[in-house]
Chains A and B, each alone.
Chain A
Amino acid sequence: MTDPAASPRELLPHLFRVEYTKMTAVLCRHFGLQHIETAEDIASETFLKAMESWGKKGIPENPTAWLYTVAKNKTKDYLRRQAVFETQIKDAVKPREQLTFEEPDFTPQMINDSQLAMIFAVCNPSNAPAAQICLALQVLCGFSVAEIAAAFLTKTETIKKRLLRARANLRKDHFQVKQLEPAAIAERLDTVLRTIYLLFNEGYFSVSGDQLIRKDLCSEALRLGLILTENPLTNTTHANALLALMCFQSSRLDARANEAGDTILFEQQDKYLWSQELIDKGNYYLVNACTGDEVSKYHLEAGIAYWHTTPTDQHKWEHILHLYNQLILMEYSPVTALNRTFAFAKVYGSEAGIKEAEKLQLHDNSYYHSLLAYLWATTDIHKAIASYQQAIRLTKSAAEKKTLLSAIQRLHEKRC
């Protein structure tokens, strides 16, 4: 990990992401979630000290160990101050809270267990999904408020408000960050998986044009998914299916945008840019996911993503349509309905696809109009252009607008 050439300014942001959340997880286990701010303060002070000290003295041989030693000392200092406050200042009439004087334990096992428990602590079914993702990004992934705001293209004030409520829930919730109990897993695993799924989608389908932010979100979701599959308690078929889905989707991340950050549609992607390594991993987790009888929406979506990695298969779209049929029966969403219709058109042709699409009546949805436009393009260029224009009026994403405009441009050229 130590690169003598690396300066603290380059090394620290990376270490911060990786170690900050681990450190707070272990400290939250130590102090309890109601004191999450204390845990975060100690972690932040530790990094501040690293910044100062490493800038002067250079990076230590084992930066991670250095960070944990400092964190441990800072915790001891904090506890000592607390003890002084408790014994000398605080009124003796008040019942004294029990104070733990144990040192926090930063062994790899403890870090893994704490991180896993922290995921379950953060994924509280009572949080609204948008707030939930913000909280996960902040507490589990070490994102700053500004980074979260950039990812959502939202004002920092809005993000702060979302976080405030979610963090209040977190403190009030009596969830214990310790060895996970089967009951807690049973109660929250669905929410955990859904949060990771949404986190990934936020990156994969982000409105933000910033390719780096999007990749960050996707790789964080993958990291959290891996934590689940590495622990026997949470290594369920559903978790494997979700991880398979994220691997397959991630394999195309580099092919999905050009250097200018413009979206490249699936059909125009350079398949050599797909990551075979991630596709292989996806296959591995998909096999694991299929060891039981249960089929979740993650299984179905992973199956669809799998077929997308096999561009030459003759019956690919029939398989994909079959999976989308099952998916829409399991859970309705406009996106699934539209994607299913796209697959339907691939199997039965544009004309049948248009009939199927028009039944959906999703007039406020930009993708509904761009799907219709795509289907009209082969038979009626006027209708296709009108539908693309409608889609442009409805979309909020600048990248999508650009893609749609170039689609219109191509149609104009075709007409000439």
Chain B
Amino acid sequence: MKEFVLIFRLSNQSQEKPSAEQMQERMNWLAGIAAQNKLVDKGNTLSPVSAKTVRPDNVVTDGPYTEIKEFVSGYIIVKTDTIEEAVEMAKANPIFKLGGNIEVREIMKRD
């Protein structure tokens, strides 16, 4: 099986706290992947507030990298036979209701 990182992005506007129902949906989604024994790493949520971006020449700005008005909000790692299967998993995530998106990237193992 191959491993894929699912990278979650939210737009800058959607910063309100998720409701209990949204949290439950998210948890169900994640546990549903674990129940198929296809979760490699349940990942982490990345803080949108405690964040800095370091650029060349010692330029440090507050906040995450948001050139396209989006920031990475978290990630998980799954294992599937194909990228299509990982994409199907991503499609079921409730993030789209918040206007977010998910990037699916195969992990290239270093030798």
- Chain A interface (Cβ < 8 Å from any Cβ of B): 318, 321-322, 324-326, 328-329, 332, 336-337, 340-341, 344, 356, 359-361
The answer to whether B28 touches A344, judged by C-beta atoms less than 8 angstroms apart, is yes
- How far does the alpha carbon of A341 sit from the alpha carbon of B34 in the complex, in Å? 12
- Residues in A neighbouring B34, C-beta threshold 8 A: 328-329, 332, 337
The distance from the CB of A395 to the nearest CB of chain B, in whole angstroms, is: 21
- With contacts A329-B30, A329-B42 known, is A322 near B35, CB below 8 A? no
Does B36 sit within 8 A of A, measured CB to CB?
yes
Q: Name 6 interchain pairs, CB-CB below 8 A, sorted by A.
A: A325-B28, A332-B35, A337-B36, A337-B37, A356-B32, A359-B36
Report Cα–Cα, A322/B27, bound state, in Å: 8
Q: What per-residue 1/0 map shows which CB atoms of B19-45 lie under 8 Å from chain A?
A: 000001001101110111101001000
Instruction: Name A341's closest neighbour in chain B (CB-CB).
Output: B35
The contact of A340 among B24, B35, B37, B39, by CB within 8 Å, is B35
Q: Is the interface of A mostly helix, strand, loop or mixed?
A: helix
Residue-wise, chain B 62-76 has the 8 Å CB interface mask toward A (1 for contact) of 000000000000000
Is the CB–CB distance between A359 and B27 below 8 Å?
no
Number of interface residues of B (CB under 8 A): 12
- Binary interface encoding of chain B residues 95-107 relative to chain A, with 1 for a CB under 8 A from any of its CBs, else 0: 0000000000000
Measured CB to CB, the residues of B under 8 A from A are 24, 27-28, 30-32, 34-37, 39, 42
Contacts of B24 on A, CB cut-off 8 Å? 318, 322
Find chain B residues with CB under 8 A from A360 CB: 35-36
Among B32, B35, B39, the most chain A Cβ lie within 10 Å of the Cβ of B35
Residues B37 and A332 in contact, CB atoms below 8 Å apart: yes
- A326: which B residues are within 8 A, CB to CB? 31
User: Which residues of chain B are within 8 angstroms of A329 by Cβ–Cβ distance?
Assistant: 30-31, 34, 39, 42
A360 to B36, CA, bound (A): 5
Say how far A358's CB is from chain B's closest CB, in angstroms.
10
CA distance A336 to B27 in the complex (A): 16
Chain A positions within 8 Å of B32 at CB level: 356, 359
